[in-house]
Amino acid sequence: MTTLDWLLVAAMYGTIMGSLLLTRRHMRGVADYLAAGRSAGRYLLTVSAGIAAIGGITIVANLEMGYEAGFAMGWWGLSMSLFMTIVTVTGWVNYRFRRTRALTLSEFFERRYSRRFRIFAGSVAFGAGLINFGIFPAVEARFFIHYLGLPETWHLGALAIPMYPFIMFITLGSAVWFILQGGHVSVLVTDFVQGVFAYVVFLILAAWLMLKVGWDDVATVMMQAPPGLSKVNPFDTGYVADFNVTYFLIGVLGLFYGAMSWQGTQAYNTSARSAHEGKMGNVLGMWRGIGQGMFMTFVPILIYTVLHHPDWAGLAGGVQAQLDGVDNLALRSQMRGPLTLAALLPPGLLGAFAALMLGASISTLNTYMHSWSSIFVQDVLLPVRRRPLSPVAHMRALRLAVIGVAVFAFLFSLFYRQSQAILLFFALTGAIFAGWSGAVIIGGLYTRWGTTAGAWAAGISGVSLALAGFVLEQSKRAWHETGTAFWGLLDVAGAARTQAWAGWVDVHLPNGQQIWGWSMWVCALTYVAVSLGQQAVRRRSFDLDRLLHRGQWAIAGENEGSGKTVSRGWRALGITDEFGRRDKALYVATWSWNLAWMAIFAIGTIFFLTRRLTAGGWTGYDTQWLRFWHTRFWIELVISALVMVWFTIGGTRDVRRMLRDLQARRRDDGDDGFVREPGPVGDGEEPGRTG
């Protein structure tokens, strides 16, 4: 790292600190702390939520996954284009949830089901979230140590300071300070600044690396993969263990079932000015994701090329020597990409990527800590107390909870030993809550017959399945070690049997993604069966209009509709009377872009499935596949550059409007997430008894 590189890192940190100082005085109540006063615009939401969801750990995780799966990951990702478009443009789940005006997901559960179920759901979400979040500081600290070439111990005079916990303390401490000062108002604005910077760096890095490595070198290396392990042809990847077609098919199901289930960025679901504004923010998120997706798809391939092409043997040898010094296999896999980038990037870009990772790390840490601490206070502490806190005591509890979450993450990262890929760990820990919550959310928002008993049955089933899977996954490493020792004792030449044992364990024990898939099916069927069975006896229906503030329960300003009739053709695209001309144009563009890629996916899939029936099979098409991927890279790079300018202008305008609205608005101390009025009774329980 040169002086220029360190200046870039310092400038990023200084800029987000300045953003905090600008915004912290606008946070003046519980609703501001939790949801920025429900005053965020669409561009601010999509840029801030994008960097909050991706974070430093997600960048490392995608570099790891892309290195293993190659371009095949990008092809099967296209299968989600149509499904993602449908989920997004219809406002599936997100629109109706915003209409409830709940500040957390479990507050909605209390209004729809019962207070006891809110406590259960809040406890599970909080517990699963803590475990999931626990490795964030560890992965990001290890990234900075290896990427920047920092020593394991920092000597300050006679004092020896271990670098690993020191970096975790700095990143966690910075994130905690942001939250304590300005709540979600400051989180939104600082994340926006970091999101714009990250988007610029993503594009510059991807373009520079592509020109530096060269497509000819990429083609040479990609063509060398053996049958069944192709890095180019997605139909010739049958032996890729984890990140294969099954991984993405489960992901497609999760788009519908798991919409808004994961609560790591839960405040963004409640912060929009209106349900329509939140819906449009999600649509814009599809355009924001083009640049991020392009980086995550192509940069791991360029890294793979550098580590396998003979012209880069010297650099690859240096990287491998550093990796050989890492004894944890999971950590070695994670650090492969960052170490290669550290060896490749020139001064300036080296610091720009470090600054990106610092900003992305802090943005994710502050967002997730804000989410999990808020869930604990709002959905466990408050309903257990059965009476609201005073505004001062409420804010004190929220702030203390943030500190508690940070301390847990620090200690968990110090002592937990990772044994699997990051994204599989995410899927496994996420399934503890997201495996069952999708059924309860969809049933609660879209049916009048969903019951509290159905919600309890789905919740208990999902938690049991996910915890069993977590235990099995954590046992894999022990089973490998036990099997190796056992076969080694039986005979000296036990290597073949040891390898067979390890293969049996990997094949027969499901990974985190597969456990999530099973949980979704089991919990959905359980919720439907129990709810319909109970309804057949009681025959009571739930008052959705009251929950969603429709009809006589409507709230002024919550619906931006003009009242004009919308033609059937527009309605088919998900367009309502809330849409202006620019909204309609955005919808048409979004549909066109994603349907075009979906058509390419469909045609290509049909073509190669028919080739499978011929003598030639799927091999022999690598040159055509390479041409496709190269063309796609430059198309997405150009589109992403235009999107970057568009979103920066729109987001800056939204920040100004939000701060102006917060300055002028009168606060309601009763808007604190505590359910005071009795909710409509649907199945014999009282969803919202007064405190």
As beta bridge partners, residue 161 has: 154
Between the CA of residue 156 and those of 65, 170, 172, what are the distances in Å? 38, 16, 21
Burial string for 369-405 (b: 16+ CB within 10 Å, else e) reads bbbbbbbbbbbbbbbeeeebbeeeebbebbbebbeeb
Cα dist from 196 to 16, 21, 252, 370, 394, whole Å: 12, 19, 28, 21, 33
CA distances from 50 to 61, 285, 363, 480 (A): 16, 7, 10, 38
C-alpha closest to that of 356 among 480, 203, 509, 154: 203
Q: How many CA atoms lie within 13 A of 287 on its CB side?
A: 28
Domain-wise residue ranges, the chain: 1-103+137-235+276-416+643-691
pTM given for the model:
0.80
In the Cβ-directed half-sphere of 80, how many Cα atoms lie within 13 Å?
Answer: 23
Residue 487's DSSP bridge partners are none
State the Cα–Cα distance between residues 307 and 317, nearest whole angstrom.
Answer: 8
> Is residue 162 within a helix (H) or strand (E), and if so which, with residue range?
strand 159-162
Round to whole Å and give the CA distance between 443 and 572.
23
Burial string for 431-451 (b: 16+ CB within 10 Å, else e) reads: bbbbbbbbbbbbbbbebebbb
Q: Are 221 and 305 in contact (CB under 8 A)?
A: yes
CA dist 392 and 176 (Å) reads 19
Map residue 79 onto helix, strand or coil.
coil
Per the DSSP assignment, residues forming a β-bridge with 160 are 155
Buried b (16+ CB within 10 A) or exposed e, 263-282: bbbbbbbbbbbbbbbbbbbb
Q: Which of 68, 29, 128 is nearest to 421 (CA)?
A: 68
Please list the residues that pair with 155 across neighbouring strands: 160
Q: How many helices (H) and strands (E) does the chain have?
A: 26, 2
Report CA-CA distances (Å) from 435 to 85, 441, 450. Answer: 22, 11, 18
Amino acid at 31: A
According to DSSP, residue 380 is labeled: I
Separation of alpha carbons 542 and 534, rounded Å = 13
What is the model's pLDDT at position 84?
78
**Average confidence (pLDDT) per 10 residues, the chain, 691 residues:** 89 88 84 88 90 79 75 72 78 86 88 92 89 84 86 74 87 90 89 90 93 90 74 64 60 80 83 86 87 87 90 89 78 84 91 90 89 92 87 92 94 75 66 85 92 93 81 60 52 49 51 74 92 84 87 72 64 73 86 86 79 56 84 92 94 92 81 67 42 31
Cβ neighbours for 679, distance < 8 A, ≥ 6 positions apart: 110, 111, 112, 546, 547, 686, 687, 688
Local structure of residue 100 (DSSP, 8 states)? H
